[in-house]
Structure 1
Amino acid sequence: MNASLQTYAAMYQAAGFIPLPILSNSKHPACKGWQTGTTPEAFAMHGGNIGLTFGAGLFVLDVDVKNGANGMDTLEGLEAKYGELPATLTAETPSGGRHIVFRKPEGVKLGNRVGIMPGLDVRAAGGFIVAEPSTLDGKNWHWNDWQPDTGELPEIADAPQWLLTAISKPAPEAAERATSATGGTADAYTTRALERATSAVLSAAEGARNDELNAAAYGLARLAAAGRLDWGQCEHVLTRAARAAGLEDGEIVATLASAYAAGMASPNHEGEPDTGEEAEPLLLPVSVGDVLTNPSKPPRFVWGHYLPRGVVALLGAHGGTGKSTIALMLAVAVATGQELFGIETERCRVLFASFEDDGAIVRHRLETICKQWFIEPAELEGHLVIVDGTESPELFTTTARDAGSVTPTYTRLEAMAEGAGLVIVDNASDTFGGDEINRRQVRAFMRSLGRIAKANDAAVLLLAHVDKNTSRAGKAANGEGYSGSTAWHNSARSRLFMVRDESGELKLSHQKTNFGKVHPLLSLDWPEDGLPQLSHAQPGPVAADSGLLAELDTRALLALIAEFSERGEHVTTATTSRTHAAKLLASEPTYPKSRKPADVFTLLREAERAEYIERITYQGADRKPRERWNVTSKGREFAGLAATAATAATVQVTALSAQAADSCGDCGDFSAGVIGGKESAQVGAKVSAAPEQSEGKQG
């Protein structure tokens, strides 16, 4: 949190204003209930910008220069006709406009209005403005002739009568408003949109009225951004409908302002009337004659062949299976470039958007992952972004029978996804506000996520709930277990499905890919005090050759682990470390090089179940507990090794000079004492050896 922001909040409060937290680089309130005011301490938890609300005696003339409307020109014309405005508290805005603060006479009622004249809005009781020291896209708001830290508020002038008259003119009749709202063109598309929006607000059920107003206003604001509707007139129509539905003015104003800002950033040109101009082609030709001389780039993936870039993938499972935890594990693995379940990742920036579980729950899961994988949270800064969307989860909504449209939350997600290589959305049931059995709406929602994927060449992974009974029956293999329309799995370019079998194991299957062959089934154990990991009963090549070849390879691995231990080097039990067993041992001549890392992990777990190896906890140079493999006496006998090790292997690094310390980010040990899990007595390291223990306690 920026300390100066909290200081500004306290100064504004001392000057008689009501501060509220605003999202960073935004004009949207950071929390609900802002109309009742917030304390300066609230800024320690919310927002990166600051806004001000006003009491009943003040209002702001908001002069904008954007979207083709120049409020400065409008104001200049008014002053030329009626006289100059009196000197009063004024601020400059990032758009080149102004916020001009006035007092109004007692008894005069002013509401919040947008577009009263080109580029002129009014912010009164129930509305707000963004204020100094807020910034937007590198530009800032700042006061003229006032420094809030002085505490001396400039004189706020009374509004001249001509201005009060201009901004409080009675609205035309509703019929005239409806006609002008469509800009006089009244094409069928915009007329239906206005009618549907009004009807949706009027018919909204209690508890859903504000959400319906937000969706309706956002859709109309997008049309206004395209120049197809007059937003001021739309605002009037929606306000009347919202009041009739039972919403309070303060809530109406805030919702319309937020929806307007988001809608203006996403103009809607769909269904525009024919202008006589040549339209963009709906079917684009694809070149075929140069596929050999000018080949297209091959598909890229962020995790094996599970998650292709540029498209949407689907991970389905019924509630309580653990898909959110596994998705967060994937996010951390990709953000750090580590393997997950023995499968390589491509390191990139990750955006994890949780719309089902709040931030505290996600942080708890992340804490477990960092502890289990020995990751310092600071390593994730700049690589992993987690957002809590539980307060306003819908990314897509519908009105009446249309295909639906994206929401302000989607617009925010779209902006935050810029530069990400992986975007995880948890989950579909919270973010999709349409009819889950309506194929047209489902496909429109999936296409909206696809736009984010394509714009960033990112893999977008959408988590989805699956019907529990059908998933147990195995129907989900054909998409039948997905709740609602088959368009969910048909629209995904890669599809994963997870279920817990009767033994308690998790089965993660790769059901579909449009980019080659599907991966084999992954079997996962989930220890009570740990994280999901590859189980011993892993299907695939290891299971197929679990006879003599597997026995020989297991003996080779045991011999290597024993050799490393006798040299004072550790082979970690972690499968996600950048120095895991497969990588650490791979350079040795006797390593089974035909094995993939996942196969090696399976052999080691089978060896553990056979009591050939065991897990030993030790203290690393950073004094954190670590875990390594140790070959037991039974394992040494199986591998044909001597019953006891020749040298001591239990080593503890107790001190290290600052000059020799070179942190190995994977294991927390240091190069002067431990390199990639290796321990040696070097300058600056104090090494103690313990006598060798028998019965599998060596090293």
Structure 2
Amino acid sequence: MTHEQQVKDSTRGRTGRLGHLGRAALAAAEAGLAVFPLHPGSKYPALHGQRDCDGTGVCAGGHLGWEQRATRDPRQITAWWSQRPWNLGIATGRSGLVVIDLDDGHGETAPEPWTGARNGREVLTRLAQEAGQPGPWATYQVATPTGGQHLYFRAPEGSALRNTAGALGWRIDTRAHGGFIVGATSRRDVGTYQAVNRAAIAPLPAWLAQALTPPEREPVTGPVATVRPRGAAEKYVEAIVRDETEAMAAAAPGTRHAARLKAARTLGQLVAGRSPLDHMTARARLLGAAEAHIGVQDTSREEVERDVDDGLAYGAQMPRDIDTDGGAR
């Protein structure tokens, strides 16, 4: 008997009580995807975070987050989903995926150059037309309960693509290394994630891979600038934070999604560069400034937090270093 047969035999007696979500997790793993549990009815990881880690068990050698613990092991999946009807999380990077997340516009007016578009799907259609390519629809797709769509693609071999927020266009985000998506059959109070095209997962089209590849940073020539004295650097960074958060808070309805992403990207660059700004402070300032957006045109706290987190993550890919003159390199 092979090891794979032994594993199947050891889990067969327990899969009957997994429910449809547990069976979906096993099916995803069998298809080669790395999965982990999300809290029932939500899109948040159920595995403990670093702040709550006691350094025992699987974390005895150092904290392991959801990305490190995402697995294809049917025994671990059975153990997890035997406990509760967790929602299904799929770690995109670990699974070798790039997922294009097309959000609905929810009635917002699309900014230039996307005027007239009603959602991310229409923006992606325009991008494909401009590239002289067919729409990338012939792949596995999941409809989200808020009117969006997830398009699954296989990442290019050796790809280091990471999450993006609005990099392709209005209402389009992507999930790759460092990200995850909610899998089909998962439920939230607003509805269920449903597979609407069960085609095989297609390779990421070359034109999309090129569009998602960030430009290489030019190598620094000459002497590296020294960091400003801490007091002066703090004043300079505080001015940037103040300008960005005030502009975001004052953004008109219809432009607030883009404004949140812009401000968060800028602060993400500072957090990743040599500046006094840390991630926790940046996130708190952004969320505080965006508080007035919540409840306007059905904007949820969850949507605001996602925009802030996505923007910070994207900005971190392009660190902004503060030099002695208060400029940036």
TM-score normalised to structure 2 length? 0.54
| Map of 1:57 onto structure 2 | 96
Q: CA deviation at 1:114?
A: 0.9
Q: Does 1:29 align with 2:45?
A: yes
Instruction: Extract unaligned runs of 5+ from structure 1.
Output: 147-153, 174-190, 199-215, 247-251, 271-406, 412-699
Aligned alpha-carbon RMSD (Å): 4.2
| Map of 1:137 onto structure 2 | 189
Q: CA deviation at 1:71?
A: 0.3
| Map of 1:231 onto structure 2 | 260
Residue from 102, 113, 120 that aligns with 2:164:
113
SS at match of 1:30: coil
User: Match for 1:63: what amino acid?
Assistant: L
SS at match of 2:142: strand
Q: Does 1:96 align with 2:120?
A: no
Q: Does 1:9 align with 2:25?
A: yes
2: CA distance, partners of 1:220 / 1:23 = 34
2: CA distance, partners of 1:155 / 1:18 = 17
Aligned ranges for residues 173-572 of structure 1 at < 5 Å?
195=241, 227-228=255-256, 230-244=259-273, 267-268=291-292
Give structure 1 regions of 4+ aligned residues with deviation exceeding 6 angstroms.
219-225
User: Match for 1:100: what amino acid?
Assistant: L
2: CA distance, partners of 1:225 / 1:14 = 47
Q: CA deviation at 1:165?
A: 2.4
Q: CA separation of 1:48/1:76 partners in 2, compared to 1, >3 Å: closer, same or farther?
A: same
Q: Is the 8 A contact 1:50 1:131 kept in 2?
A: yes
SS at match of 2:209: helix
SS at match of 1:268: helix
Q: CA deviation at 1:64?
A: 0.7
Q: CA deviation at 1:118?
A: 0.2
Number of equivalent positions: 218
Q: CA deviation at 1:52?
A: 0.7
User: Match for 1:127: what amino acid?
Assistant: G
| Map of 2:120 onto structure 1 | 71
Q: Is the 8 A contact 1:20 1:53 kept in 2?
A: yes
User: Match for 2:180: what amino acid?
Assistant: F
2: CA distance, partners of 1:64 / 1:48 = 24
2: CA distance, partners of 1:225 / 1:22 = 34
2: CA distance, partners of 1:233 / 1:110 = 20
Higher relative contact order (CA 8 A, sep 6+): 2
Q: Which has the higher helix share?
A: 2
Q: CA deviation at 1:75?
A: 1.3
SS at match of 1:77: helix
| Map of 2:180 onto structure 1 | 128
User: Match for 2:41: what amino acid?
Assistant: N
Q: CA separation of 1:22/1:78 partners in 2, compared to 1, >3 Å: closer, same or farther?
A: same
Q: CA deviation at 1:238?
A: 3.5
Q: CA deviation at 1:122?
A: 1.0
2: CA distance, partners of 1:172 / 1:230 = 25
Q: CA separation of 1:172/1:15 partners in 2, compared to 1, >3 Å: closer, same or farther?
A: same
Q: Which has the higher strand share?
A: 1
SS at match of 2:156: coil
1: CA distance, partners of 2:34 / 2:157 = 20
User: Match for 1:51: what amino acid?
Assistant: G
Q: Is the 8 A contact 1:222 1:268 kept in 2?
A: yes
Q: Is the 8 A contact 2:34 2:95 kept in 1?
A: no
Superimposed CA distance per residue, residues 374-396 of structure 1 (whole angstroms, 9 cap, x where no aligned partner):
xxxxxxxxxxxxxxxxxxxxxxx
| Map of 1:507 onto structure 2 | none
Residue from 69, 87, 102 that aligns with 2:138:
87
Q: CA separation of 1:165/1:99 partners in 2, compared to 1, >3 Å: closer, same or farther?
A: same
2: CA distance, partners of 1:105 / 1:165 = 11
Q: CA separation of 1:12/1:37 partners in 2, compared to 1, >3 Å: closer, same or farther?
A: farther
Q: Is the 8 A contact 2:137 2:151 kept in 1?
A: no
Instruction: Extract unaligned runs of 5+ from structure 2.
Output: 1-16, 50-64, 71-75, 111-118, 219-236, 295-300, 306-329
TM-score normalised to structure 1 length? 0.27
1: CA distance, partners of 2:247 / 2:34 = 30
| Map of 1:564 onto structure 2 | none
Q: Is the 8 A contact 1:2 1:48 kept in 2?
A: no
Residue from 182, 205, 212 that aligns with 1:167:
212
1: CA distance, partners of 2:18 / 2:247 = 36
2: CA distance, partners of 1:121 / 1:165 = 15
Q: Does 1:155 align with 2:200?
A: yes
Q: CA deviation at 1:19?
A: 1.4
Q: Percent identity between the aligned chains?
A: 29
Superimposed CA distance per residue, residues 62-81 of structure 1 (whole angstroms, 9 cap, x where no aligned partner):
11114525102201212222
Q: CA separation of 1:135/1:223 partners in 2, compared to 1, >3 Å: closer, same or farther?
A: farther
Q: CA deviation at 1:132?
A: 1.4
